[in-house]
Every structure is written in C-alpha cells, then in structure tokens.
Amino acid sequence: MDQLTGTTASQPAAGLAFRTAAEADVPALVGLVESAYRGESSRAGWTTEADLLEGQRTDPEGVAEVVTGADSRMLVAERDGALVACCQLERRGDLAYFGMFAVRPALQGEGLGRVVLAEAERTAREEWGAREMQMTVLTAREDLIAWYVRRGYRRTGRTSPFPYGDERFGIPQRGDLRFELLVKPLG
C-alpha cells in the first residue's frame, strides 16, 4: 500500500478522475511537466531527462496553446482533487498525436502511466475517430521507448532532429539527440 495515494500498484486507477484542462490549470501543468523531466526533482522518477537536457521542458505559452487549441486538448488525471498526471492530445486528421506526458515523479512506477495512456488512446479513438496514435521520443531514452513498445507502440525508424538552439525545448547536454516516431493502431 502506498501511503501517499492509498492505493496499491495493482490498483493504479483507484480514485483517479480524468478531465480536459482549462486555462486556469496552465501553471500547475507546467510545474508537473517540468517536475517529471527536468532538474533534481525529476530524479525521483524514472522519466527524467536531467542527464540529457537542462533548462525548461515546456513553458506556459506552449501549454496554453495545447489547452486552448481547436484540435488539441490537455488530458488531466487527478486523485482526490490533486493533479497527478497529464498528457497532450492533438487531432491530425484520422491520426492523433500524444505528447507532454507527465506523471508526478513520486507516483511513477505504480502503473498510473499505463492508465493515463490507455485513457488517452480511448479518448482519441472514441471522441475523434483516430485510427492511430503517434508520438516522438528521444532515441537516447531506450528505457522509455521500451515501455511504449510493451504497450503496443511500434518503432518506425523515422527520426527527426532535436531543435538545437531553441531553448524553449531545453539545453542539450549531448550532440546526438534525435526523436523517433512511434505509432500504434487504435482500431
């Protein structure tokens, strides 16, 4: 039993509520995403990118764009009224893009991420009619890619460069950062 959440790893969805983020959520969402990927606080979880990138992971403008966009939404997961996870969904025709996925570092490893990912897939399929979910993941994050592969995502081998020089996405600590496209049929 986890003393913080009152759940066990076998019941990650217990007490979890999903909703679409509102503009008032933007500051908390930025904080959650930053805490899951950057800085020392991110090291409490396994999704940290602190050894690959310094600086910010996102900013209020980028999150607000997702929250207010006509073809996007930020899905929020709460437990007992507290923000515990989020993800971006973007409609791209009959495809959906999944991004800005974050789980509070102290709660990582409990299965919460699996539940949020499944809800995102359900939402894209049932509400938008998406036939496929797509995402990009840093190729240096083999552990994260393996996690997605175990959830049915397929590596495509199609890569795109990291936006070096654009500090909105962080300050690279290596010169070999690239993104790989992962896909999963939703039908």
Do residues 23 and 64 make contact, with C-beta atoms less than 8 angstroms apart? yes
Model pLDDT, residue 49:
87
Its sign, for the CA torsion 97, 100, 104, 107, is positive
Residue with tokens 């909703």: 19
Tens of pLDDT along the chain (187 residues)?
A: 343 334 444 577 778 999 999 999 999 999 999 999 988 888 888 888 888 988 888 999 999 999 999 999 999 999 999 999 999 999 999 999 999 999 999 999 989 999 999 999 999 999 999 999 999 999 999 999 999 999 999 999 999 999 999 888 889 999 999 999 999 999 8
Task: Tell me 91's DSSP state.
Answer: E
Model pLDDT, residue 25:
98
Model pLDDT, residue 104:
95
% of residues, the chain, pLDDT over 90? 76
Model pLDDT, residue 14:
78
Model pLDDT, residue 153:
98
Model pLDDT, residue 7:
41
pLDDT in tens, 30-41: 999 999 998 888
- Comparing CA positions, the residue from 92, 86, 110 lying closest to residue 36 is 86
Nearest-angstrom CA–CA distance, 160 and 180: 7
pLDDT in tens, 61-95: 999 999 999 999 999 999 999 999 999 999 999 99
